[in-house]
A and B are shown apart, each in its own frame.
Chain A
Amino acid sequence: MAYVAVRGGQEAIEASLALLAWERVRPGCSVEIKDIMAAFPDLIDQVMGESSLYAPELAALALKQAQGSCEEAVFLLRAFRSTLERPYVSCAVEPDAMRCSRRISAAFKDIPGGQILGATRDYSHRLIDFNLRKESTDTVRELRREMKRIWKEGWEADGLCEGDGFGGDDGAEAAQDLLPEASVRPPKKGAKDAASPPLGAFGRLPKVADYLRAQGLLAEYDADDATPADATMEPLVFPTPRSMRLQVLARGMTQGVVALGYAAIRGFGLGHPTVAELRYGEVEIAVEHPLGTPGASGDPLQAGRGDAYYLGAIPVTEVEGIFELEVENADGGKEFTFDLGYGMVMGRGETKAIAMSVLDFCLRSKDKRFPTQDEEFVLYHVDGIEATGFISHLKLPHYVTFQSKLSSVRKAKDLAKGSADKPADEPATGPADKSTDGGEGGNDDQAV
C-alpha cells in the first residue's frame, strides 16, 4: 500500500518532487531560456496563446521548468497570470492595420494588396532533415549570413533595398534577436503569385471581406467596440456574448479546438467554409489613459480618443472564413448570403485560428443539431486547464465516495437477492437482473 495516502503523505510528496527534480537534471545538461526562445518560437506561441498571456520569455521559462510539456507550461503560466491584476483594457485592435508577413486568400486568386505567402510549412515536404543533427550555432550563423547576402543582392538588383530590415549583420548577435526579426521577415523572392509588395509597402492592407461587403454579399453588422467580456474576470453565463466565446476559443487547447473544428466541417457541424483571408503579422496594442488625457481645456473628461499609450506589438494570426447562410429576404422568401466566422490567436497558430473561425460561426447558429453548435459543449470542454485538471483528478483517492457507493450497491444487491428468494408469485427477475447487470446504473452522479 505504498501510495495509500493514509499516512506519510508529506514524505511521499517530498520524495516524489525530489525524483521529478532529479529527472530534470539527470541528463546533466541545461538549455538557456534564449535558446528555447530561438529554437521553439511556435511552441512558445502556443503556450502564450493557451495561457492568454503575451510573455515569450516567461513562456520559455515555463517550458523549461515543465520539461517541454506544453500542458504543464500552460498550467504554470495561467496560474501566474491569475495573480496579476488587469487594470486596463486596450484600445480596439484594427487588424487591417496589421504589419502582415503572411496573407493568403483561398477565395480569390487576386486580392487587393496581393497575396503574401510568407513563411509556411504548407508546401514543404515533411521529411526529416538529418542534416540538422550536425547543426551548430556556428553553422547556423554561417547559413544566416549567406541567406541575407543572397536576398540583399536580389533586392539591390530590383532597387528595393533601403535598410536591409534584418538588423545588424553581426554574427555574434544575441539569438533572441531572431524573434522580432521573424515577424518582419520579408516575402521570399519569387513567392507564389509574385505579388510580394516591396518592404516599404508593408502597412495597411485592405481586408478581403471588405470587398464582399462592398458588393452586398456579406451579412452586415454594426461595429461593436464595447469592452469585451473577459472569461478570466467574470463567470461564463449562457448564452455568452460573442466576445467571450472568441476569447474562450482563442485560449482553448490548440488540439481541442482543431478537433472540434474538424468535426464541424466533416459532418457534425454547419458545412465547409472558404478562407476569405488568413493573415499573420504584428498588431499594435495601446491603452487609453484611464482618466483621459487632459485636453487643452485641462478637463480630463473632455479628452478625446487618440491620446493613447502605445505598449508594443504582438504577433497574431487572423482568419476570416466565409460561410453560406440562408436568410429570409424582404419578400419572405429564402435567399443565400454569406457570413463570416472569425478566428484570431496569438502568434503562429494557423490551424487553430481556422478551426476557431469555424466554431465561431457554428456557435452563432440557433440550431443546435450538432454538438459543435452548442456553446456549452464547445466552450466548457476546449479549455486545457479544466480538461486536463479534471481528467487527472481521477488519480486522486476516492476511498470515501467509493465506500459510500459500495454500501449502496451492496444494499441494492441484498434487496434483489431477498426478493429473488421469495416465492414465484412475485416476479423478481426484473429488478434482480438489473441490479446484477448494472449495479451502478441508474445513477450517474457518482462521487468524484
Chain B
Amino acid sequence: MGADKELHHIQLSFRAVMDAMARPGRVYGLPATQGKKASRFGLEGPLETLVKMFIDQAVSFCVVAPDPAGIQDAIVAETHARTAGQADAAFVVVPHGCDKELAGQAIVQASAGSFLSPEAGATVLLGCERLAFLTEREGAEAGDASLYWVSVEGPGVRDSHVFGIDCFDWVWARKRRGDEFPCGIEIILVDRQGQVAAIPRSSFLSVLAMEGGAEGEEASWLM
C-alpha cells in the first residue's frame, strides 16, 4: 500500500475500533485490504493494522509468543517503538494462534495503570479465530460448538450486547486480574477476517450458556 492509501485504511480501521470501544461487544469490520501483501511484521493483516494504528516511538509494546524477538524486532525497526516487559508494556500484542496459556498469562500480567493515571492501563490487541455479532446467533447451527457467546454490559451498552467468539479463556484471565475501576485494561479482539470487538475496563462480561454448545459449562458466569 502506498503511504496515502495506508493512511486512509488506518483511518477507517480506527473508526471501526473507536466505534467498537464506544459500543463494547458489538462487532465491527475493518476495511478490507486490497492486494494481499505479505505482512512485514509476521502478523495477520488485521492485527498488523491495529499495531500500525497505535504503536510508535511514543509508546512501549510487547509481543506474546514463545519467541517474540522476530516480530518485535520487525515492529521496532518500522515504528521506532520500544519493547517492554508484559507487565509494563502499553500495548500487548497477542498474535493469532498464540498459545492460550501464554495469552492468558499476558492478560493477567498486563499493566492496570494507577488511580492517578488510569490511562496507563495496557491495551491488549488479541488475535482470535472468529468473531460474530448477535444477529449471527440465531443463524448459528444448533450444536455448533465453535462459538461461545459473551454478553457485555456497561457504558456504551443500552441493555446488553452479545457476541460470539471461538475462545473465552481471555474472559477468565480478565476476571482473574481483579482490577478496581478506574484501573484496568482494554482488550481489542480481532479475528482473521478483520472483524473487531472491544472490551474496555468499564464493561461487565458474562459467558452465556450455549445450547448444545460449549461442553460442560452451561452456567452463565458473571465476570
Contact = CB atoms under 8 A, between A and B. Distances in A.
A and B touch in the complex (CB under 8 A): yes
Interface of A: 86-87, 233-234, 237, 290-291
B80 A87 contact: yes
B58 interface: yes
A237 B80 CA distance: 23
Nearest to A235: B119
The 5 closest A-B pairs by CB, nearest first: A233-B58, A87-B80, A291-B77, A290-B80, A234-B58
Interface of B: 57-58, 77, 80, 117
A233 B57 CA distance: 10
A59 B140 CA distance: 64
B74 to A, nearest CB: 12
Contacts of A233: 58
Chain B interface SS verdict (over half): loop
8 contacts: A86-B57, A87-B57, A87-B80, A233-B58, A234-B58, A237-B117, A290-B80, A291-B77
Contacts of B57: 86-87
Given A86-B57, A234-B58, 6 more contacts: A87-B57, A87-B80, A233-B58, A237-B117, A290-B80, A291-B77
Contacts of A86: 57
A256 B25 CA distance: 50
A85 B185 CA distance: 29
A87 B58 CA distance: 10
A72 to B, nearest CB: 29
A118 B195 CA distance: 67
B1 to A, nearest CB: 18
A60 to B, nearest CB: 30
A86 B58 CA distance: 10
Nearest to A230: B58
A290 B77 CA distance: 8
B82 to A, nearest CB: 10
Contacts of A290: 80
Contacts of B117: 237
Nearest to B59: A234
A87 B79 CA distance: 9
